[in-house]
Amino acid sequence: MHFSLEPRVQCQLDRIEAFLIAITKGINNLSTQTNALDAQIANLTADVSAETSVEQSAITLINGIPGLIATAVTAAQAAGATPAELTALTTLGASISASSAALSAAVTANTPVAPVTPSAGAVGNTLGIKPVVS
């Protein structure tokens, strides 16, 4: 069965169809942009995580140096070194301890909170927009 529409009604339907096609193209474009943005956010998250790991490694290293110096002082004393001979090394250890505590506090204060990771099933477009094929 075939219906014949008045030209005015057919014209309105054609405009509605053209408008829907334009909306569909806009949604597809938005979906593509969202996927690209998701990839950029994932890269940025990885960069922040790597930077945080490097900072934590530096803190661990710096905090460990005073312990190494203390061990060296103890070994030197056991080998017969006097406290006077070890004054410079002991002072250095105390200075590094004070500096590392300040550095650790500064790095910790300026390190962003760990990012929230997407759920296991989330991939790509997290807005739930599905491309519409016209």
Residue 83 and residue 126: Cα distance in Å, rounded?
A: 64
Q: Residue 5 gets which letter from DSSP?
A: -
Residue 36 and residue 50: Cα distance in Å, rounded?
A: 21
Instruction: Count other Cβ atoms within 10 Å, centred on residue 79.
Output: 7
| Alpha carbon separation from 68 to 25, 96, 126 (Å, rounded) | 65, 11, 49
Split at pLDDT 50, 70, 90, the class of 116 is low
* Structure tokens, 51: 């930077």
Domain assignments of the chain as residue spans, ordered by start: 7-109
Q: What is the pLDDT of residues 58-102, one digit of tens each?
A: 777 777 888 888 888 888 889 888 888 888 888 888 888 888 778
Q: Residue 119 gets which letter from DSSP?
A: P
Task: Look at residue 1 in the predicted model and tell me its pLDDT.
Answer: 65
This prediction has a pTM of: 0.42
